Amino acid sequence: MEETKNEKAMIRRMKNVLFKSFSRVGETALLLAFFTFLSQLLALFRDRFLAGRIGVGESLDVYYAAFRIPDVLFIFAISLVSLSALLPFFQMELQAGKEQARLFLSEIFSVFILFILVLSAISFIVTPYLVSFLFDGFSSHAIRETTALSRIMLLSPILLGISTIFSTVVQSVKKFVIYAISPVLYNLGIILGILILSPYFGIYGVAYGVIIGAFFHLLIQYLVVRKESFTPSFSLRGIRWNKIISLTKTSLPRMVTLSLSHVFLLILLSYATRFTEGSVSLFQLSFNMRSVPLSLIGLSYSVASFPILVKVYQDGDYQRFLRSVFYPLRQIVFWSLPAITLFVVLRAHIVRVVLGTGHFNWSDTKIVAASLAILSLSVLAQGVNLLIIRAYYASGKTWRPFTILSSSLLITFPFLLFLSRIFTTNSYFRSNVESIFRIQNVQGSEVLVLSITYVFWTYLSLILFSFFFQKDFPFVRKFPERLTPWKSFFQSSVASVFLGLILYYILHMSVSLFNQHYTLGLFLHATISAFLSLILWFALLIFLKNEDAYSFRRVVTRFFNSFRRQIYRKDVTGDIEIHS
């Protein structure tokens, strides 16, 4: 009897945590960062299993190439249901009543289903031609395999698109725990495909895992939609096409803007097929690891800030709008710089711990580590870019991010061709680059061309965003200078240089204490060294009286106090009380 009561209490507490609402940017960003960390941790295990069981070569190249086409299709498909575009519309409908908002959601759901099914059917037919055109460096067998895998994974944009519609409800009611769990389940589904299905179906089992993950991503968010009584129904009758057209006009530039980065990545992978076999996998693996700090920092703060940016701009509170931009911007700078330092100094440890198993050899490790060191430099620029893009979206200036990113891409393409030519024809330049990253005479070093090009694009975009933001938001000039990120950037830069030097010193002083031939020894060596260095880094920031360090300490304290109160607070009926 007592055990039953304890089990029920535990279930109530779990539900209370899952359906808790968050309204503060700092707490929400911390929550998203925590679950993003879990998602990225699973993503690292996913890549470890892929690299260890399949190995860098044609099969893994085929999988990553095949994944790109459904990925780009998904971006085009959400032109109707882009979260950043749909959220303001849904919130306006919600002001007119809950049933009105549900009917609007049903209209969007119905039109999307029709649109995505037609688009998927067309994609299914043209996939062989797209694969042959984009990945002309593949063998005929690899092209056939890529085509088959792409067609299987065309189901994922349908499931993820519906999930995106549901996430509008989830974010509107501020159930950020559910929103944050969905990527965790997505990666879990892919891992199940690798571990359980791939032994029977080969690389196709991984593709089936992508579908399973997309279904999990949809299912967890549907729970909130059903609980909040927003379950949409499919019907093409009575659709207010003027609303759909208005939403599409708003969403179209956002979709095109979002697609630019995905299309650019597709082009880089297409270019990689002209290099040695395995280049696609080597670049993608390093790119995935670089996504960990970006997701934890830049994406978490930009996602957490967006609903607030929309509201305060609609209210005409421009000073608070700028505060809602500059506060997360300072936090992005504050955390990105030490993250970059850690990834550059610990690049070999990270790659060996994450991927160093099975068919993944030492040459692969060195190339991925060098590529990771370069790509990690983009974390700061891309994190700030994500935040500024959402600030533009919240203000209704939706075409400016597209013009900035497309302009930077037009400059980046010639840079890619120029750098590739210099790297392949100028032995002096190539040997110097290889010497910097200690990959002399290692096959596959041309992958670094793709990494350098990507970093160039992110910082060029940041420069353009910084220039136009002051022109498009003239009230920024009246914003108090003490709240701008420049002081934080200087202090964080000094502290990050200190962090790098201390970390490098601790690593070399303690190398004999850990067995470098085993994953556990490498992990402990890197983790303990990083932990000690970060303590000294944070102490230096406190000594410098860095406002962001003090702010982070307050956010953490408030976050855990809030969770503790929420979990153990009960109403008069004995049930856990859930607050909106």
Name the residue ranges covered by the structural domains of the chain: 21-54+58-277, 281-575
Please report, for residues 165, 180, 350, 454, 521, the alpha-carbon distance to residue 513 in angstroms, rounded to integers and kept in the order given. 52, 38, 18, 37, 9
Measured in whole angstroms, how far is the alpha carbon of residue 349 from the centre of its chain? 23
CA atoms within 13 A on the CB side of 65: 35
**Cβ-based neighbour number of residue 430 at 10 Å:** 18
At 486, list the tokens: 């420049």
The tens-digit pLDDT sequence of the chain (580 residues) is 555 555 455 455 555 545 555 555 555 666 666 777 787 788 888 888 888 777 778 888 888 888 888 887 777 776 556 655 676 677 777 777 777 778 888 888 888 888 888 888 888 999 999 888 888 888 888 899 999 999 999 898 889 888 888 887 777 766 667 777 888 889 899 999 988 998 888 889 989 999 999 999 888 888 888 877 777 888 777 778 777 777 777 777 777 787 788 888 888 988 888 888 888 889 989 998 888 888 878 877 887 787 788 778 877 777 788 888 888 888 888 889 999 999 999 998 898 888 877 677 888 889 999 999 999 999 999 999 999 988 888 887 878 898 999 999 999 999 999 999 998 888 888 888 888 888 887 888 889 999 999 999 999 999 999 889 888 887 766 655 555 567 777 888 888 899 999 999 998 888 888 887 778 888 899 899 999 999 999 888 888 887 777 777 776 777 667 656 655 554 443 333 333 3
Q: How distant, in Å, are the alpha carbons of 190, 281, 290, 351, 442 from that of 44?
A: 12, 14, 11, 10, 24
The tokens for 561 are 């106090």
Give pLDDT, residue 315: 75
Length of the chain: 580
Q: Which residues contact 507 (CB under 8 A, 6 or more apart)?
A: 345, 346, 525, 526, 529
Residue 407 CB neighbours (<10 A): 13
For residue 271, which of 420, 153, 400 has the smallest C-alpha distance? 420
Closest to 249 in 3D by CA, of 83, 72, 80 = 80
Rounded to whole angstroms, the Cα distance separating 526 from 102 reads 50
**Helix, strand, coil content of the chain in percent (nearest 5):** 85, 0, 15
The residue assigned the tokens 């955390």 is: 335
Rounded CA Rg of the chain = 24
State pTM to two decimals.
0.79
Provide the 3-class DSSP secondary structure of residue 397.
coil
Residue 184 neighbours by CB under 8 Å, 6+ apart = 35, 38, 39, 42
C-beta separation of 85 from 397 below 8 A: no
- In sequence order, the β-bridge partners of residue 576 are 570
- Between CA 562 and CA 258 the distance in angstroms is 35
Under 8 Å between Cβ of 173 and 228: yes
At what angle are helices 25-53 and 547-568 packed, to 10 degrees?
Answer: 90
- Please report which helix (H) or strand (E) contains residue 498, including its range: helix 486-509
At residue 574, the pLDDT reads 39
Query: Measured between alpha carbons, how far is 15 from 577 in angstroms, rounded to an integer?
Result: 10
What SS3 state is found at 576? strand
Which pLDDT score, from 0 to 100, does residue 549 have?
Answer: 79
- Strand-pairing partners, residue 570, are 576
